[in-house]
Amino acid sequence: MHFLSQDLEDYIEHHSEKEPALLAALNKETYQKILLPRMLSGHFQGRVLSMLSKLIRPLNILEIGTYTGYSALCLCEGMQTTGSLHTIDIKEELVDFQRKHFDLSPWGTQITQHLGEATTIIPDLDVKFDLVFIDADKENYINYFEMIVPKMNQGGIILSDNVLWSGKVVQEVHKNDISTQILIEYNKLLRDDPRIETVLLPIRDGLTVSRVV
Ligand SMILES: C[S@@+](CC[C@H](N)C(=O)[O-])C[C@H]1O[C@@H](n2cnc3c(N)ncnc32)[C@H](O)[C@@H]1O
């Protein structure tokens, strides 16, 4: 969901950094060949992720929800030269597509793809992270957060996507709508948890920035 008018969205995009050619090609190929292309972060949010990563200069990055690899490559833009990005996705059919685009980037050898359920993979990662991007199934957001916090370096940043969930977080919630119920609970948790400080930014579908204190 987009909360601003198309005119304003276009204006914002035209007054932000251009989409790098590699990402524009990945964006195009995702729309041509892969189901549900709207899941990809896209030009503007991608530039936000890139900028945040460049400000943080992370050594190790974790992404939950690779999809076609767009946001992973945006996050790599700020990664230290000796750094690593671990990215997790449950869809086997995306692995070769992701790898093709990772290997076209300067960070191919620094990116590790993990295939499977994120809740199974995260506990086995023996890495301390400076930057984490949570962008997979909403029903597990609280589980992901609880698994990740002990693996964060002090001052590390956790980014959570889709936290406004098309505005459903402020509407009456249907009793079968588990994703919205979890996101409402998750947003309260991020606000109240003393281990982090949080701002919820109204970027695209809502992007929370949480800093581990
Ligand atoms: C919104 S897309 C990620 C988009 C990507 N971060 C980007 O911005 O380009 C969510 C991805 O999470 C993956 N996913 C969903 N449930 C998952 C789970 N339980 N464990 C790992 N990955 C999962 C989906 O297969 C999908 O590719």
Tokens of 155: 């001052």
Q: Which helix (H) or strand (E) holds 6?
A: helix 6-14
User: Is any ligand 1 atom within 6 A of the Cβ of residue 189?
Assistant: no
User: Is any ligand 1 atom within 6 A of the Cβ of residue 205?
Assistant: no
User: Is any ligand 1 atom within 6 A of the Cβ of residue 135?
Assistant: yes
**DSSP-based three-state secondary structure for 170:** helix
Reported as a single tens digit per residue, the pLDDT across 46-92 is 999 999 999 999 999 999 999 999 999 999 999 999 999 999 999 99
Q: pTM value?
A: 0.97
Dmax (CA) for the chain in angstroms is 47
Distance CA 109, CA 106 (A): 8
Residue 3 pLDDT greater than 90, yes or no: no
Residue ranges of alpha helices (H) inside 109-199 are 118-121, 141-148, 178-192
